[in-house]
Structure 1
């Protein structure tokens, strides 16, 4: 479990520091009206100063991805700032690469709109929308994972790529006094434009997952924002090496189902799914059936700590060890390979290292790393 600890500690400390800075700044400053210049004048907006750029943009209907809901722990809300707004903050530094710092990339959840500011964002973000939805069904997939199916009400349809994610807008509830957002990968297929499905694992103390598991009910309304993300299948002939654990099943399931619908049966897919014991496995029979329909799909579930009563005869050990074994002994080394990963930051980092050790190119490894 060691490789899970460091990213979690950094995320917690960063979030605490971000909260302190926000509170202090709000108490002592009033910035008046300022202008946002987006993409070299393609959009100019007058706004009240003082709020984080992420919040200011969302209030104007421009949604920047933020897997952590603006807590300063995921690093997803990066924008390019063309104006001089001061040095990089301590809350940003751990989440920015050195080349990003030189290019003016900043975390929009951390920088305040204090004066006129020029920024650049990807054009596709102008197409991101907020959707009103209704909870159509909630199903228990394991003891701590629920599948939530949403019907889109307004707008009534959505276009997305298999593998992308949306952000659920979690309302105030119980002791939670403010609305927040969290990112979840879409598990359904793009062909169903009027519904979305998500696989959501309960995280003890998690604001969003607690709401979904303990408060959300069928028939309720829930707003979402999306779609986001560049985690999707690349249109090549490379062998796909997919790795997921827990609710990381979602985008891989969407990608494989999408390929099945499009009759893309020639491309080889190896899908490694890691779980602790049999009670943490789900969709096993589904993917075993998919293997029969897709001649080049190989589904490899593995248990790291199976219980005696599991009577497990499949692969055992850490998913990284299983992945390494197959890359060395089973998967054709002569063919180009691409990695598709979804899971915790620690698991992903370990899998990326295994892939690189087995001569997979780092720029061909794609992932969503939700903090």
Structure 2
């Protein structure tokens, strides 16, 4: 019997310790009701303490951007906290500049509410809403990108082309918690009852796996937004736009919005890079737009065209194509602005090309995604 008594004794002790730790945690972390003052009295909340600031705000209908769903890996949920909440955490440091740290900017997902707080957020976030919609259509536009169109019914969304929406991913399969991920809105702002997204499958990605393998037409879906500052500047400068893959999304919204509004006097050069022909999409739509808009130029390029594809367009890295066109096709244009959407590596490489061709970084606007 001794061989049974020892393990049972250890298990009993471990169970007792776990219960004790749980009880102590509930007492120690019982912060009671706390008040959050937002923007010097613009809005005041009274909530239970102990949760992260990000989730506490969203539970009260105040939504901060969060591309990673509150895991501290995107750095998007920044807000200014005027109350002392302790030193900046190691998880926050990579996402905060020296100036932001000096101004008490913190990541809301990393700050636990333990006492009354006073915070400052951008005024436009008061207009962010949570939408419940129904999936109207899911289309395979490439082998790894789906176009998802959501009908939000009688609700309306007001946004500027180039902004993004956060998709709420419910538990599925082995995923036990809710998650959020950010996707650029690809539809035009004129369609106020629908939201379109282009979602590329990322191996192992929580949201993209759900969309590609589980989401079906007719399903209910939750969205939060709009967010973002990526948008065209209200100038007369020629727009030099570069994207690849699902980076097409904000440009599709921007271009159709401009065309609908009659902003066709403005010069636009749109470079879209892909590896092979199977990675290109919306070619027909872009060509049709090009035929109607004399100042719009669409330049698709393949970096690794296959022999059987018989590709006759531009070939090579998109940065090399960009450099060639800036030197040979657009050098006569005095005022130019750069617009980029893609991976950090692609964006950094394009910024170098812009800089070498006289377009300074203060004239370059971009939306990076991992």
TM-score by length of 1: 0.90
CA distance in structure 1 between the aligned counterparts of 2:160 and 2:90, rounded to whole angstroms: 35
| Residue matched to 1:177 | 176
CA distance in structure 1 between the aligned counterparts of 2:147 and 2:97, rounded to whole angstroms: 35
| Residue matched to 1:134 | 134
Residue deviations 1:327-365 (CA, integer Å, cap 9, x gap):
222213552211211112222222222222322122222
CA distance in structure 2 between the aligned counterparts of 1:367 and 1:27, rounded to whole angstroms: 47
Which shows bigger deviation, 113-122 or 267-276?
113-122
1:299 aligns to what SS in structure 2? strand
The structural deviation recorded for 1:205 is 0.5
1:242 aligns to what SS in structure 2? strand
| Residue matched to 1:114 | 114
Indicate if the aligned counterparts of 1:129 and 1:225 stay in contact, CA closer than 8 A: yes
| Residue matched to 2:273 | 274
Alignment of structure 1 residues 173-252 onto 2, 5 Å: 173-252=172-251
| Residue matched to 1:286 | 285
The structural deviation recorded for 1:32 is 2.5
Indicate if the aligned counterparts of 1:67 and 1:370 stay in contact, CA closer than 8 A: no
CA distance in structure 2 between the aligned counterparts of 1:105 and 1:318, rounded to whole angstroms: 38
Indicate if the aligned counterparts of 2:238 and 2:333 stay in contact, CA closer than 8 A: no
Structure 2 unmatched runs, 5+: 1-24
What RMSD in Å do the two structures reach over aligned CA positions?
1.6
2:289 aligns to what SS in structure 1? helix
CA distance in structure 2 between the aligned counterparts of 1:117 and 1:333, rounded to whole angstroms: 55
Residue deviations 1:197-241 (CA, integer Å, cap 9, x gap):
111000000010011000000011001001111111111101101
Residue deviations 1:88-109 (CA, integer Å, cap 9, x gap):
1111111112221222211111
Residue deviations 1:10-69 (CA, integer Å, cap 9, x gap):
xxxxxxxxxxxxxxx999744322211110122111111222111111011000011121
Structure showing greater relative contact order (alpha-carbon pairs closer than 8 Å, 6 or more residues apart): 1
Which shows bigger deviation, 109-118 or 207-216?
109-118
Alignment of structure 1 residues 59-74 onto 2, 5 Å: 59-74=59-74
Indicate if the aligned counterparts of 1:83 and 1:118 stay in contact, CA closer than 8 A: yes
| Residue matched to 1:369 | 368
1:340 aligns to what SS in structure 2? strand
Which shows bigger deviation, 37-46 or 355-364?
355-364
CA distance in structure 2 between the aligned counterparts of 1:363 and 1:94, rounded to whole angstroms: 23
CA distance in structure 2 between the aligned counterparts of 1:34 and 1:177, rounded to whole angstroms: 29
Alignment of structure 1 residues 1-371 onto 2, 5 Å: 29-153=29-153, 156-332=155-331, 334-371=333-370
Residue deviations 1:223-266 (CA, integer Å, cap 9, x gap):
10011111111111011011111001000011001111111111
